[in-house]
Structure 1
Amino acid sequence: MGSLGALMKHPDDFYPLLKLKMAARNAEKQIPSEPHWGFCFSMLHKVSRSFALVIQQLDTELRNAVCIFYLVLRALDTVEDDTSVAADVKVPILIDFYHHIYDRDWHFSCGTKEYKVLMDQFHHVSAAFLELEKGYQEAIEDITLRMGAGMAKYICKEVETVDDYDEYCHYVAGLVGLGLSKLFHAYGSEDLAPESLSNSMGLFLQKTNIIRDYLEDINEIPQSRMFWPRQIWSKYIKKLEDLKDEENSVKAVQCLNDMVTNALLHVDDCLKYMSALCDPAIFRFCAIPQIMAIGTLALCYNNIKVFRGVVKMRRGLTAKVIDRTKSMADVYGAFYDFSCILKAKVDKNDPNAQKTMSRLDSILKTCRDSGVLNKRKSYIIENQSDYTSFVVVLLFIILAIFLVNLNPNWPNN
C-alpha cells in the first residue's frame, strides 16, 4: 500500500489507500473468463494498473472497447519505443499496424517484460477486437492508422521545433483523445467533442509524461529517446543529454520550467472538455488522469530531481485523487490547488517566470469563475504536527487488522 514513512507524514492517506487497495482486488476478480478477454484485462492490469482501475467503472460495452483501444495503442507504442528494432523493420510495421489488428494470427516479438508478452500473444487482442461492434472497430482502426503513420514519420525525424513537438504529441496522444471521444460518441452517451479539445486532452498528458520521463528516455539503451524540442532546450544547453550533468543544474531547471510552462497551454481546453461530459463514469475516467497530470507538473516544476531520478506523486495522494474526483467541482478544486502549489515555486529570476505566472493566473481565474471552489476538499494539506500519537497508533492497529484479514494463513506462515 503506501510506504510507512509516507503514511507517518500523511496519516490521512490511509483511508483512500485502503479503498484503492480494495478496488484493485475487486477489479482483479472481475476479469472475464473467456481466454482472449481474460488475457486482455489481465494484461491491462500489468501494463497500467491505474488505468485499469478507472476503466473498470465504465459500462461493460464501453469498457471492453476502451480496453482493446488501449492495448492496441500500447502495442503500437511498444514497437515505436523498442530502440533495438531497426528503423527499416519498425517503420513498415507501424504503417501497417491498422491491418494487423484484424489478423488473428499476427504477432511481433519486441519490447520487454509484460510488453513482450503483449506482443507475443497479440492474437488475443485481435480476437477481442473482432468481437466489438463495427462502430468501435472503425474508430480504433482509424486512430491506429493515423498514429502508426505519425510514429513512422518521427522514427526518421527529430523533434526540432515546438510545432514538431505539438505534432509528435498529437500523433502519439492527441489522437488517443480523438479516439476516446469517438468511442464515447459511438456508445451514445456523449456528443462528439471538438477535435481541438480532444487533442489538448491527449497533449496535456503526453507532455507531462515527456517532462517527467526525461532521465529514463535519455538513458534508454541501446539508443536515447529524445522528445524535448530543440527549440526549447537549445536556449539552455548544447546537447539535450547535458541537462542531467550536475554542473548544468541551473540551466537544466530553467529548461524544465520552460517545458512545464509550454504544457500549461492546454489546461483551459482540458477544463472545457471535461465540463461538457454527461456520463459520470466517463467523466471520472477522463478527469482522474488530468488531475494526476497537473499534480505531477506541480511536483516537477523547478525540481532538479527530474534529472536525477524518478519524480512522481506519492501513492497516497494518487489514492486521494481517485477517491475524491466525482464532479467538476472536484476538478476545478484540484487544478486550483495544484496551480497554487506550482505558482508558489516560481522563481522571479527564472527566464520564463512572467509567462508561467500569466498561464497559472489564467487557470486560477477559470477555476475561481466556476463558482464551485468551496465545494471540495483541498489538496493543499495543512501542517500535520497536530496529529497526536493516538492517531498514529490507531493507524497501525487498523493496518495490522487489514493485513491479517488479507491473509488468513498469516499466523502459520
Structure 2
Amino acid sequence: MELLKKWLGHPEDIYHLLRFKMGGYRAVMPRMDPDSLGLGLRTCYRYLNQTSRSFAAVIQALDGELRHAVCIFYLVLRALDTIEDDMTISLDVKVPMLIEFHSYLYQPEWKYMESKEKHRQVLEDFPTISMEFRNLAKVYQDVISDICHKMGVGMAEFLEKKVDSQSEWDRYCHYVAGLVGIGLSRLFSASELEDPIVGQDTELANSMGLFLQKTNIIRDYLEDQMEGREFWPKEVWSRYTKKLSDLTKPENIDMAVQCLNELITNALRHVPDVLTYLSRLKNQSVFNFCAIPQVMAIATLAACYNNKQVFRGVVKIRKGQAVTLMMDATNMQSVKAIMYQYVEEIYQKIPSTDPSSNKTQQIIASIRAMSLPNGPMASRHHYSPIYLSCAMLLAALSWQYLSTVSKAAEEYVQAGEN
C-alpha cells in the first residue's frame, strides 16, 4: 500500500502510468519484429536484451539501418567494458587487450573464453558480433572501430590511475561516456537521419555523455564506496574531508552535502550544451533516444541536490515520474520545460550558506535563459480533475498490477550500467 500512497501524492504519475500501459509506450519505444532478421542479428539483439534491457528498448526503437549500427556499437563497447571490469584478468594481459581490442573486430575467429564477468557471453561469442560488425556499411564500421580504439586506450590509462583533478574527472568521463556520445552522433549523421553538424560538433556530443556519466557517478557514491571504487575527483572532496569514505560518517554530513552540491553544480554546466545538441535533431526516433536519458539525469540531480540520503542509501526518481518523463520528452519545447522545472527545483533548495551557492545560481540562470517555457508545455502537469479522479480510482483498484508495469521505467532510470 506504500506504493499506492506515493502515487496518490503524485496524480500526474498515475495519469502517465495508465497512459503508458494503455499503449503510450509504443510512441516512445515501438517494438521490432525479430523474425525479419538473420540469425546473426537475432543473436546480437538477444545479447542486447540480456546485457541491457533498458538500453535495448530505445535502441530497437531507432529507425532503419541505424538501429543495427547502434546495437552492434553497444555490444562492441559492452565486450570492451567486460574486459575492463574483469578483475581476474592480470594487468599485463588486460592492458594490451584494451589497447588492441578494436583490431579484434576484423579477426573473424577472435574470442575470449576466460572471463568470469556476468556478461561474458559477448566475449565468448564475439565472432557473431564481429561478423555483424563487418556486415555494416563501411561508414558505420569506421566510426565504431575508431571509438573502440580511443576508449580502449583511455580505459588502459585509468586502470591504475585515480581521478584527482576536475580536468581528470572530465577526461575519465570523456573516455567512458563522452566518446559514446561522439560515436553515436557520428552514426546519426552517417545514417543521414541527422545533419552532418550533429556528428561534427564533438564538443556538444561529448557534453551529452559527460552529463549522464557525472550524474551516475554522483548518484552512485555509496554503492561505489561499498564496492571499493572511487570516481569523485579528489580536487573537490579533499576540500571537505581527508578521505572520500569519511563523507559517510554522521559527523561529516554537512560537509558531505556541500561536496555533493559542488559536484552537481559542475554537472549542471553541461546542460546548455545538451539543450543546443537536442535542438539540432530532426528525426523523432533519434530525438527520443537522446532526450529521454538527459531528462532522467536532470530529474536525478534534482533529487540528489542537498540530499543527505545520497550518503545513507539509494536516491532515485519515482517509477511514475520516470514514465512521465519518457512520455513527455518527445519534443524540444517539452524538454525545455522539463529542464526548467528541475533547475527551479534545485534553485529552491540552494542553502544560502553553501560554498557553491553563487556558482549554482549562475549556471541555473544560464539554463533558465535557454529553457524559459512558453505555450502549453509551460503547464505540463495540469490535468483534468475528472480524468485524475478516474485515474486514482483505477490505481486504487489495480495498484499491484501497475507496479509490475512500471518496472520498465525503473529499469530505464537505472541505466547507469554503461
TM-score interval for Structure 1 and Structure 2 normalised by the shorter chain: 0.7 to 0.9
Q: Across the two proteins, how many residue pairs are aligned to each other? A: 394
Choose which of 226, 233, 255 in structure 2 pairs with 1:251.
255
Matches within 5 A, 1:13-412: 13-18=13-18, 20=20, 23=25, 30-32=33-35, 34-108=38-112, 109-110=114-115, 112-113=117-118, 115-190=119-194, 191-193=196-198, 194-220=201-227, 224-368=228-372, 372-376=373-377, 378=379, 391-397=391-397
CA RMSD of aligned residues (A): 2.9
Matches within 5 A, 1:2-21: 3-18=3-18, 20=20
Asked if structure 2 preserves the Cα contact closer than 8 Å seen for 1:104 and 1:126, the reply is: yes
Amino acid at match of 1:307: F
Which is further off, 263-272 or 12-21? 12-21
Structure of greater relative contact order (alpha carbons < 8 Å, 6+ residues apart):
2
Counterpart-to-counterpart distance in 1, 2:366 and 2:241: 30
- Return closer, same or farther for 1:74/1:404 CA change in 2, 3 Å cut-off: closer
Asked if structure 2 preserves the Cα contact closer than 8 Å seen for 1:159 and 1:165, the reply is: yes
Counterpart-to-counterpart distance in 1, 2:380 and 2:156: 41
Asked if structure 2 preserves the Cα contact closer than 8 Å seen for 1:332 and 1:373, the reply is: no
Alpha-carbon offset, residue 230 of structure 1: 0.7
Matched with 1:411 is none
Matched with 2:410 is none
Amino acid at match of 2:12: D
Give the percent of matched residue pairs that are identical in Structure 1 and Structure 2: 45
- Return closer, same or farther for 1:404/1:373 CA change in 2, 3 Å cut-off: closer
Alpha-carbon offset, residue 90 of structure 1: 1.9
Amino acid at match of 1:340: E
- Return closer, same or farther for 1:4/1:362 CA change in 2, 3 Å cut-off: same
Asked if structure 1 preserves the Cα contact closer than 8 Å seen for 2:29 and 2:58, the reply is: no
| TM-superposition CA deviations, 1:263-294 (whole Å, max 9, x none) | 11111111111111121221111111111111
Which is further off, 307-316 or 42-51? 42-51
| TM-superposition CA deviations, 1:149-202 (whole Å, max 9, x none) | 011001122111111111111111111111111101110122233111111111
Paired residue secondary structure (2:79): helix
- Return closer, same or farther for 1:14/1:27 CA change in 2, 3 Å cut-off: same
Amino acid at match of 2:333: A
Paired residue secondary structure (2:270): helix
Asked if structure 1 preserves the Cα contact closer than 8 Å seen for 2:29 and 2:57, the reply is: no
Counterpart-to-counterpart distance in 1, 2:349 and 2:382: 16
Counterpart-to-counterpart distance in 2, 1:127 and 1:4: 48
Q: Which structure 1 residue ranges, 5 or more long, are not aligned?
A: 406-413
TM-score (norm 2): 0.86
Counterpart-to-counterpart distance in 2, 1:402 and 1:300: 26
